[in-house]
């Protein structure tokens, strides 16, 4: 069953978004490594770095790490998003609690289906439940599709910029944020 999303999106009802549980560490690793392989420009860590991690690392992250959400399509992981609480000393003026959206990725086969927005909604729901009033993220300059997507969701540039990786001086990203009461 499908429903129409925005004019260029079709949302598949069979897709499920759920928070990663300890026993799903292998699926978490699978989708994270797929993201790094398919979109290496979008992340501060590399496929080489994360492929070297042993099973215990992934088991610990699934059981005790930051909240991560997997999008499941036909029983297979098709996307990923996570978040962490922004430290108090890094909060913008007037913001009492914020979450930072990280590790956002949707498989190419599922792009344009609404799955990315559903992942952001899952993170937003968890952030709101934790009392956050703002969601913050970083998006690379070269990822035009992601920049357009976040813009459609109302994420606006804060003016902050940084290198994606210190050893790549021409690879920049910008910070964007959105008040959660508007999402």
Domains of the chain with bracketed CATH = 2-182 (3.40.630.30)
DSSP conformation class of 86: P
- How many CA atoms lie less than 13 Å away from 119 in the CB half-sphere? 31
pLDDT at 114: 94
Give the separation between CA 74 and CA 158, rounded to whole angstroms: 38
Q: Contact at 8 Å (CB) between 177 and 134?
A: yes
**Cα angle 151-98-135, degrees, rounded to a multiple of 5:** 15
Q: What is the mean pLDDT of the chain?
A: 91
Burial of 142 per CB tally in 10 Å (0-12, 13-18, 19+): middle
Question: What would the pLDDT profile of 14-68 be if each residue is shown by its tens digit?
Answer: 789 999 999 999 999 999 999 999 999 999 999 999 999 999 999 999 999 999 9
Q: Which of 7-11, 17-21, 28-32, 131-135 shows the lowest mean pLDDT across its residues?
A: 7-11
Q: What span, in angstroms and rounded, lies between the C-alpha atoms of 5 and 27? A: 27
């Amino acid at each position: 069953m499908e429903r129409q999303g925005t004019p260029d999106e079709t949302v598949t009802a069979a897709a499920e978004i759920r928070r990663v549980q300890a026993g799903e560490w292998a699926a978490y690793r699978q989708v994270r490594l797929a993201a790094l392989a398919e979109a290496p420009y979008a992340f501060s860590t590399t496929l080489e770095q994360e492929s070297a991690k042993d099973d215990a690392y992934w088991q610990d992250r699934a059981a005790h790490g930051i909240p991560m959400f997997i999008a499941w399509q036909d029983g297979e992981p098709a996307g990923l998003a996570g978040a962490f609480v922004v430290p108090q000393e890094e909060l913008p003026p007037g913001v009492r609690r914020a979450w930072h959206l990280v590790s956002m990725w949707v498989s190419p086969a599922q792009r344009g289906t609404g799955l990315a927005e559903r992942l952001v909604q899952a993170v937003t729901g968890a952030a709101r439940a934790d009392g956050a009033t703002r969601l913050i993220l970083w998006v690379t300059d070269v990822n035009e599709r992601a920049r357009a997507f976040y813009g459609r969701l109302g994420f606006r540039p804060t003016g902050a910029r940084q290198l994606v990786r210190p050893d790549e001086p021409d690879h920049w990203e910008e910070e964007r944020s959105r008040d959660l009461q508007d999402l």
